[in-house]
Amino acid sequence: MSRPMRHAPIDPKLFVSNRDRLRRLMLPNSLAVVNANDILPTNADGSLRLVVNADLFYLTGIEQEESVLLLHPDAHLEEFREILFLREPTPLMEVWEGRKLTRESAQKLSGVKRVEWLSEFDSVFHRVMCEAEHVYLNANEHKRAVIRVQTREGRFVAREFRARTVAFDAGSLSAIGTAIGIAAGPSKALPLLGALRSRILHVLVTDIRTAAAVLELDEEDR
């Protein structure tokens, strides 16, 4: 159940301005994903009221569970640069949980022009990930943080990234006869140069732009 709004209506221009401020801080060709908080359970089938994700509220004004904001300012197509995802409401859901946001009401509240149902997230996310060179995830990385209950953001990281990542340590790679690396993007030039110099990689498959960036760094360092 969403927490009832306890404040006066806020001009969506504020949230548009907040998103613009975040975009200016992001690296070129970056993607940012912000998830709503979970509704925490109590006893049996009971639950607490939703504690709104302050970051999501700052960027959109949205106070509804399972909402996701996706920002990709440099996406090739403008329609993929800013998207808000919501649970698709049904009559039965609203009987048990109360009124939910429609696409139109979310657009009016947040100033986000493109609003999709959550069922569309996976296909859209896959598409923009193929373009992005950097990804911002809203996770608690403080060195003294003790995570006792995994958050929705934490599950998103595990589901979308860690579960799809195959990794080897340097020792394992050095034991391979011929290690082939595949990467592209000038931002990867420095780690690629380090991998080649340390002979962790023996063959690099990349594009002309990235190869030129690696060679330029190598020349500068000599």
Give 137's strand partners: 33
Label residue 61 left, alpha or beta by phi (over 0 means left) and psi (-120 to 50 means alpha): left
Structural tokens at position 185: 């993007």
Side chain identity at residue 6, one-letter code: R
At residue 26, the pLDDT reads 96
Whole-angstrom distance, CA of residue 187 vs CA of residue 172: 25
Whole-angstrom distance, CA of residue 18 vs CA of residue 24: 10
Give this prediction's pTM.
0.72
Strand order through the sheet with 114-117: 114-117, 82-86, 68-71, 30-35, 134-137
One digit per residue, the tens of pLDDT, for the chain of length 222 reads: 445 557 889 999 999 999 999 999 999 999 999 999 998 888 888 888 888 999 999 999 999 999 999 999 999 999 999 999 999 999 999 998 889 999 999 999 999 999 999 999 999 999 999 889 899 988 777 778 777 778 888 888 777 666 656 666 666 766 777 888 888 888 888 888 888 888 888 889 999 999 999 999 888 877
Whole-angstrom distance, CA of residue 103 vs CA of residue 116: 7
Q: Collapse the DSSP code of 220 into the 3-class scheme (helix H, G, I; strand E, B; otherwise coil) and give the result.
A: helix
**Hey, what domains does the chain have and what are their CATH numbers?**
12-164 (3.40.350.10), 170-220 (no CATH)
Whole-angstrom distance, CA of residue 141 vs CA of residue 162: 15
